[in-house]
Amino acid sequence: MNEVVLYSVLSIGGLGTLAAIILYIVAQRFKVIEDPRIDEVEEILPAANCGGCGLAGCRNFAERVVKAGTLEGFNCPPGGQDTMSEVAKVLGLEVEEQEPMVAVVRCSGSVQLAPPKTKFEGLNTCAFAHSLYSGQSGCPYGCLGEGDCVVSCAFDAMYMDENTRLPVVIEENCVACEACVKACPRDIIEMRKKGKKSRRIFVSCINREKGGVARKNCKVACIGCGRCVKECKFEAITLENNLAYIDFNKCTLCRKCPPVCPTGAIHELNFPARKPKQKKEDKSAEA
């Protein structure tokens, strides 16, 4: 009887020891050495897994950024400047100051200004409408108003205006993740510098048709007349394919171009109201 107990204890114990040795050797042999900083970086990231950085989630971002050892080409849009400087601290790097960006909708062809000529009854997505035809207003560049961008936004930073049927960006919520830029089949949405006090001047149109054709469909289309180009002293405005474009790196926000635009296609945001030609009052208003 004792012998049975002894043999069982010995054989099971022996097997256990053998397994332990094999496991130890295997563990040593195939050890994955992971940089502990990956976990640290991941902790800092917002864990939204939004994909705004262009990578598959926050873990992937952490792995890549630690492996690269540089912050060049990496940006966490929802985390913003603060997150990036913390990541830099973990990696012992300096973070470059980056201008905050914000999404801008470059179309003002509302239901009122670019009245619909046809009725669309198909699947309610911009991607489908774009594949079918030029849109209800007839403008082949304008907003289709089905709201693919609003659906794509993970930060509640966009909504469809019920009256105009155009998307509106809520600046405070926008983290410049570019999801809407990718969702828009017509490239209407652009990431632009947020600017001082969130002030921006941009051409709210991307129609490249000839002036007359564009104007037929929409009252506020850019007709490519070039008056803004002449007005701009900083060479910030270029005219290409019947369309003016303001380079936000060159624009000094001098507010000279919006009044000369005959169709009102140039928009200015968050500026104080214009006071007609009374410079002193203007200054006091700004202060």
Partner 1 sequence: MKTFKIGGVHPPEYKISEKQPIEVLSLPETVSIPLAQHLGVPAVPVVKKGDKVKTGQLIAKGEAFISANIHSSATGTVSKIDDVIDDSGYRKKAVIIKVENEQWEDGIDTSDNLIKECNLTQEDIVNKVNQMGIVGMGGATFPSHVKLQVPKGKKAEYLLINGVECEPYLTSDHRLMLEKSHELMVGITIQMKALGVDKAIIGVENNKPDALEKLSKLAKEFKGITVEPLKVKYPQGAEKQLIKALVNREVPSGKLPIEVGCVVHNVGTSFAVYEAVQKNKPLIERVVTVTGSNVKKPSNFLTRIGTPVISLIEASGGLLPNTGKVISGGPMMGKALNDLNVPVTKGTSGILVISDYEAQRVSLQNCIRCAKCVTICPMALEPYLLALISDKQRYEEAEENQIMDCMECGSCHYICPSGRPLLDQIRVGKANVGKMIRERN
Helix/strand/coil for 112: coil
Q: 8, 11, 112, 131: which one contacts partner 1 (CB under 8 A)?
A: 131
Q: Among candidates 144, 176, 174, which has minimal Cα distance to 158? A: 174
Interface of this chain with partner 1, residues 140 to 169, rule: CB under 8 A? 140
Of 22 and 132, nearer to partner 1 (C-beta) is 132
Q: 90, 134, 225, 282: which one contacts partner 1 (CB under 8 A)?
A: 134
Of 165 and 186, nearer to partner 1 (C-beta) is 186
Pattern 84-123, partner 1, x by CB under 8 A: ---------------------------------xx--xxx
* DSSP of 131-178: HH-S-TTS-SSS---S-HHHHH-SSS-EEE-TTT--EEE-TTT-----
Of 81 and 134, nearer to partner 1 (C-beta) is 134
Of 127 and 168, nearer to partner 1 (C-beta) is 127
Of 11 and 131, nearer to partner 1 (C-beta) is 131
CA distances from 117 to 45, 135, 144 (A): 48, 9, 13
Tally Cβ neighbours within 10 Å of residue 80: 15
Nearest distance from residue 208's CB to partner 1, in Å? 10
Q: 49, 81, 125, 164: which one contacts partner 1 (CB under 8 A)?
A: 125
Tally Cβ neighbours within 10 Å of residue 195: 18
Cα separation of 109 and 115, whole Å? 8
Candidate ranges 74-82, 127-135, 217-225, 271-279; the one touching partner 1 (CB under 8 A) = 127-135
CB neighbour list of residue 77: distance below 8 Å, 6 or more residues apart? 50, 52, 53, 101, 175, 176, 177, 178
The residue count for the chain: 287
Kindly list the residues in this chain that would bind partner 1 in the complex (CB under 8 A): 117-118, 121-123, 125, 127-128, 131-134, 138, 140, 209, 213
